[in-house]
Structure 1
């Protein structure tokens, strides 16, 4: 089994769907990714700001598992790191299976806490028509399954780059499934 690691990192100072892949990013405690449009202590996502700009920002860092790219490729879609708007692309971590409150150590210093699932929006079909159907499905019981990654807040800042290890620390107590944030 391959050790959990960072495959790619991305950021964008503008509110665009996809983010530019860069050599490294700097996470800032309580804010998010330095130089990214979604950094801040309160919500930065435009639709959420319109509803209530005072909400805490539970979406400071967006993480997607690279295994998702292989999954959608099997259905004929080609997606690369950063194209789903994520800041950190990982491999070897079942991000969607983590409970809320899981701590992820990214590289030597940075620490984030998983707050919930990314709720995919119709902009995904702007990347490739029909892709949304791959990222929002239903399980055998008819429950909605969201596959577009997880959101996190930054507990400890630090530089994150491709090749960095990802450490996973599950929260104590009972674990519940992630919900959209």
Structure 2
């Protein structure tokens, strides 16, 4: 984490598409997600999860990804930009993957989200650019799988979010709980 954590891009798509066009701003709605995005809702909206249980709570209302991952992927030969990998909020200066479950992020002046878990990279990445899924996976020092494709969150307090907005981190009380896949 650096002293300067910020939003570099915001994106949304009304339909179920892989990439999401960048916007001048997005509105987060408490308990629902990104207004006007296909994944907004109190119950799960991801197609594969809807098929399993359409009444399950939506722990994937907002998808965040680090701009630093985009830079890493570009250096590896994958031309990617903010929003193209399906994220709603692209960040800089914040190690999203190192956050504990339950961490809260204030995005700009009003919006607050709570991190629920990791995005599990899927075959859609390879459909977008062959080999991209493997490039979003790594190994830690102990050989464990590292999923680098961002984190998921729910909206606790609504508000508008813009590129350039500051991000403030509030860690939860209690012991550190590592992020799992949601």
Name the TM tier (shorter chain): over 0.9
TM-score normalised by structure 1 residue count: 0.97
The CA RMSD over aligned residues, in Å, is 0.9
Matched residue SS, 2:64: strand
Task: Report what 1:117 is aligned to.
Answer: 118
Task: Report what 1:5 is aligned to.
Answer: 6
Q: Deviations over 1:70-106 (max 9, x none)?
A: 1112211111000110000000100000000000000
Distance in 1, Cα, partners of 2:177 & 2:36: 33
Task: Report what 1:51 is aligned to.
Answer: 52
Matches within 5 A, 1:23-172: 23-172=24-173
Runs of 4 or more, structure 1, over 6 Å off, are none
Gapped regions of structure 2 (runs ≥ 5): none
Q: Deviations over 1:45-67 (max 9, x none)?
A: 00000000010000000000100
Distance in 2, Cα, partners of 1:2 & 1:105: 15
Task: Report what 2:174 is aligned to.
Answer: 173
Matched residue SS, 1:119: coil
Distance in 2, Cα, partners of 1:140 & 1:98: 18
Task: Report what 2:15 is aligned to.
Answer: 14
- Which sits farther off after the overlay, 77-86 or 1-10? 1-10
Instruction: Quote the offset at 1:141 in angstroms.
Output: 2.3
In the alignment of these two chains, the number of paired residues is: 181
Instruction: Quote the offset at 1:136 in angstroms.
Output: 1.6
Instruction: Quote the offset at 1:2 in angstroms.
Output: 5.5
TM-score normalised by structure 2 residue count: 0.97
Distance in 2, Cα, partners of 1:62 & 1:16: 14
Instruction: Quote the offset at 1:138 in angstroms.
Output: 2.3
Distance in 1, Cα, partners of 2:142 & 2:106: 34
Gapped regions of structure 1 (runs ≥ 5): none
Q: Deviations over 1:115-154 (max 9, x none)?
A: 0000111000122111111112222322111000000000
